[in-house]
Amino acid sequence: MLEKERSEKFLNDLILAGKIFEVSIENAPIPIMIHAEDGTVLHISKTWTRLTNYDKEDIPTIYDWIEKAYGQKKEEVQGFISALYALKETLHDGEFKVTTKDGRMLLWDFHSMHIGDLPDGRAIVMSTATDITKRNQMVQQLKESEQRFKILHNASFGGITVHDKGLILECNQGLSDITGYSIDELVGMDGLLLIAPDYRAFVMDKITSGYEKAYEAYGIRKNQEIYPLKLEAKNMPYKGKQVRAVEFRDITELKLLEQERTNNEKKLLHMKNLLSYIVEHNNNGVAVHDRDLHYIYVSKRYLEQYNIQEDVIGKHHYDVFPDLPQKWRDVHQRALIGEGSHAEKDSYEREDGSIVWTRWECRPWFESDGTIGGIIVYTEVITKQVQIIGRP
């Protein structure tokens, strides 16, 4: 009787242990699969299902899992898994990409071990996985970030330095090229020595105030050459403390171009004023119009001949002469397509009924690229002369 009780207790303990094992597997915080040598999936953890969306009904055998999770690499993985049932010790299977039920790609790091045999002799293997997808993404992002920093650091169009209150901690080749100092000379140097003496207090004020916008100063090279400089800094954490990353940009060429542009603008303005002066004081009636027939230049003689008192610059020709006959409007349109016209004696009737006789010429003028920019009208009022010699 005592022996029977012992046997029943042992059996109950064994059943309880089995249930505890099943519950432990089912609720494990990591993906776990228990599978038999013939491929039967005996248990999978809830974590496995939560991460992949596959439950035991979706993958009743290890081969169903291989087919669904590994795609084109299924044959390679199947051969690997078949060897697991002969394991004598824990094996680090390695990292594998697995495809979830909803098509996501995960990266899992697998370990497998032989945990016993079924009564029918089939070996049982437990495979556990660590989901390293996010960790791998972070590592990859870190590598990409480091690579981008390296590219920017070494291939920047300007010089880059990281400094702590002026003391240079790191710099790139660009800063060496700009300043004439070697990288070894620059690291550990007081960065203010790279600034022209008259601007050091100004730059130091930017440093101490944490200023982060671009500004201009003057730098000094190793050979004592002073040059225009554009600086832009960002405050950043570096090895446990706040430092500043600064870009040095040599703007010598930019300043030369700006000076050249300023000189050209002055020359252009001078030429414009000179042309205006020449036209204005021409003894003949001259008017220069743009393509839209707005006045650009006009001579005093032109204004006097037509008794115009107002400032016509910028105004439309036909607003100044609303009674201009159609024949002359046609002349303007032909000039705008490149055809010049002239007349030794021509007339038109004004709004007040008076007849004005003129001698005129109309020609196009051209832009620097060869396109027509507008028209020039040369005109002389000859009404008195015509009246003296009589009408034709």
- Looking at domain 275-389, its CATH superfamily turns out to be PAS domain (3.30.450.20)
pLDDT exceeds cutoff 80 at 84: yes
Share of the chain above pLDDT 70, in %: 89
Would you say the C-alpha torsion 205, 206, 209, 210 has a positive or negative sign?
Answer: negative
pLDDT digits (tens, 9 = 90+) for 229-267: 999 988 888 777 888 889 999 999 999 999 989 888 887
Query: For residues 182-195, b (16+ Cβ closer than 10 Å) or e, as one string?
Result: eeeebeebebbebb
Query: What is the DSSP-derived secondary structure letter of residue 66?
Result: H
> What is the second-level CATH architecture of the domain 9-136?
2-Layer Sandwich (3.30)
More confident residue, 280 or 175: 175
Amino acid at 44: I
* DSSP reduced 3-state for 390: coil
Say whether pTM exceeds 0.75. Answer: no
CATH number of 150-253: 3.30.450.20
Greatest alpha-carbon pair distance for the chain in Å reads 160
CATH 3.30.450.20 domain residues, the chain = 9-136, 150-253, 275-389
Crossing angle for the helix pair 62-70 and 74-82, to the nearest 10 degrees? 150
DSSP assignment of 321-358 equals -TT--HHHHHHHHHHTTT--EEEEEEEEE-TTS-EEEE
Instruction: Indicate the average pLDDT of the chain.
Output: 85
14 pLDDT band, cuts 50/70/90, is: very low
pLDDT band at 11; cut points 50, 70, 90: very low
